[in-house]
A and B are shown apart, each in its own frame.
Chain A
Amino acid sequence: MAVIDISNISIEFPTRRGVLTAVENLSLSIEAGEILGVVGESGAGKSLTGNAIVGLLEPPGHVTAGTILLNGRDITHLPESEMRKIRGAKIGVIFQDPLTSLDPLYTIGRQLTQTILTHKKMSHAEAKARAIELLNEVGIPAPEQRFDAFPHEFSGGMRQRVVIALALCCDPCLIIADEPTTALDVSVQAQIIDLLKNLSREKGVATMLVTHDMGVIAEAADRVAVIYSGRLAEIGDVRSVIDAPKHPYTRGLMDSIPQIGQNLKTLPNIIGAMPRLDARPEGCAFNPRCAKSKSICRQQTAPLIETGSDGQWAACWAYEGGNKYV
């Protein structure tokens, strides 16, 4: 059984000028110990999906259809009091900017023990021991001394380690990492990615790695889901998606990443831009930018269709005739 199993969820924002569908009919699942990379442009709906799982959608946004199962339990519409007990305990969240994720007025030790004591019945001394163990685990040197340090006394990379320690406090089964490396420099990025990879392998944590950086995906993810304009464009094993992308959007995305040794005069790009939520075209959202669009692409949204035997699926009419995801 998958740790997290999202099927056909839609997220809508009612506004004065009508309802905006930010995420539509999106399905994905993550197994224990697996890292699923979720890529897409800004505004594609990848962070929203993460927020929907932990029940932190900013109102008026809300899930209007579909189900979210955590270890088989439906958590789609849990009341806030129940959801709060899951957040931080079963699901750990890591946000983009470690510089602003920590409360500047409290020591990191206090923030760690506060989180632990909120979810677990233990004494303060036990919580402190656990916090130091966590700091050690995420690679903070001299954790006993650093326990009483304030966030501003840490570098960006170290702060992100603290944030990860906070997400791991109560041994979650799922970690949602929303752009965990975007605010960090490249060498620190690699360390944080390694850390996330090890945690997921050793502890069997399912990880949802939301990012727009294909390099990070290639480095860390087992599988990858590509989101375009609130819909899943393609999902599959990371090597197959990178080496043999099936959806025209994924293909364009891969082509636009320059490679060392490639002698290019201009960088290939995809003409046009992702449509705004209130101006999404009929049919496939990508059809105006797609060189191979057919008449059906302009009329009907393509379902996810299996493109091969290795579990790669693409929402593209080009593969019509293959197995359809229901």
Chain B
Amino acid sequence: MEIKIEGLEAKIGDTPILRGVDLTMNSGEVHALMGPNGSGKSTLSNVVFGHPSYEVTGGRVLVDGEDILEMEPHERARLGLFLAFQYPVEISGVTVGRFLRRAVEIRFEGQKEVRTKGFLKDLREAMDFMEIDQQFINRYLNEGFSGGEKKRMEILQMLMLQPQFSILDETDSGLDIDALAVVARGVNKMREHDFGALIITHYQRILDHIKPDFVHIMYQGRIVTSGGGEIVTELEKRGYDWVRAQYGQEEEVHE
């Protein structure tokens, strides 16, 4: 799968957030997207998935050559895209088991039969792998979960849905080092197959566990520089002030 973002511009209300994002990614590759708070990283993930709060004002998002910006969010998901949310919502009254069974059905509709036994076995295995207690199958999705449990639940969903490309929106934030290792293990397991990811993060530490092939720095709604792992080292040493100094633009003065 090839995802090609070209000159993507988007705003929320009257505030422009994305000011021309260019980024090409393929399954088989892991990209890291870094940048200071407010640079537009989360907006990019929401816009790629079609969150209704954002208005696209320019550019294209091509998935294998097809522009997905006119598609509804669920149609984008059905292409094999996955978004691990920064703040997963709580879905009261819907158990993890029931939700995932239906989501897997939708994902593999017409591809393979989802057998009751097979599904539960897969789910239990994936839960063991993610160190999630089996009792969570019967709990309402994310309701009353701790921050770390919610993040692990996002990765569990990814393992069950087997997307071709995932955007992980600050999945590392708020995790202790053990939970971070579990989350990274889930992502690395996906890499055994034809899988690509965009890992959005503020910090370098998740990238110690998941080695990115490419690293991009976002600032003021644009990708300002791209490269390999050496950029992470650079950021760690010099912080984001270096980005601001080198790539910052004067704010446009509004009348």
Chain A bound to chain B: no
* Interface set of B (CB-CB < 8 Å, partner A): none
